[in-house]
Amino acid sequence: MMKISFIVDKYLEDLAAIKRYSANTIKSYKADLQQFDDYCEKHSKRILQNISEKFIRSFLMTLSEEEVAKISIARKLSAIRGLFKYAYRNEYINSNPASAISNPKTVKRLPSITTTESILEIYRIAEDTEPDDALLIKTIFEFLYGSALRVSEVCGLNYGDIDLHAKTVRVFGKGNKVRIVPIGSKSAEIMNEYLRSKNFLSAKDPLLTRNDARIYPRWIHRIVHKYLSKVTDIKKKSPHILRHSAATHMLDRGADLKAVKEILGHENLSTTQIYTHVSIERLKTAYKKSHPKS
């Protein structure tokens, strides 16, 4: 019989090598499974085969009593379910005690968004910086908002991924899944100006360079927070706000939900549907503000 820690290591290796999960996802899974392993160790449950459904539920109950957020409990349960599914599939255990445990009910929070006018105002403010910096800032915002990319996807872009003739960008998303995302005409103009300002030697040269180095997530977070703070008072000012905003604005203007799903690179349509709720809430707000019968 295998120790839990051994199977956890094998499972994480499988996620990295076979399923190609991102380093950040694997890091989160590792932390959650380490917490579960510590709980098992505390209760003298060192062998995965000896873990029952009741014991898993006791772990989740403990988290709840410690007032861990429901969304965090759901994430930890997802990691545990994945571990047991892997162990059962590879015959480390004879049955899967986690399969019947459902996620705790959570209230889905609608994502915050900013306005198109705010994005345009950022471009005007950026013009007051050095020309090269202004161009880089606008290009980053075009990828985050114009093409609705994730920060990790922007940081991973290379020169050869951009096709301005076809007005598309090749993106390596979650799990290293490749998708082709359209580039708008205005975005293409900015990107073309940016590309002409750089001396790219190879298709593998990092697209967004500053001081001849690849752009990294923390830098993008800092830049986005800085400029969003100048134009909006929304509480959260992360790059993901731009992705939320792009999706919502597309749906506001009649975009097909499935098309938005493909642009965003979502695995399931249900993930994209949250933005339809945002659009409806915006309609309700507009109605309440302007309709005489509201």
Catalytic residue at 174?
yes
Catalytic residue at 218?
no
Residue tagged active-site, from 46, 198, 214, 240: 240
Catalytic residue at 43?
no
Residues 6 or more apart in contact with residue 95 via CB below 8 angstroms: 88
Token couple for 124:
């005007």
Residue 209: what are its φ and ψ, rounded to 5°?
-115, 145
Residue tagged active-site, from 174, 210, 221, 277: 174
For CA atoms 148, 153, 155, 159, give the dihedral sign.
Answer: negative
Residue tagged active-site, from 243, 244, 249, 261: 243
Rounded Cα–Cα distance for residues 178 and 153 (Å): 10
* 3 state SS of 235: coil
Give the single-character DSSP code of 208: S
Residue tagged active-site, from 57, 266, 277, 282: 266
Rounded to the nearest 10 degrees, the angle between the axes of helix 240-252 and helix 257-264 is 160
Catalytic residue at 222?
no
Residue in this structure with the two tokens 């302007």, named with its chain if needed: 290
* 89, burial (CB in 10 Å: exposed 0-12, middle 13-18, buried 19+): exposed
* Catalytic residue annotation: 150, 174, 240, 243, 266, 275
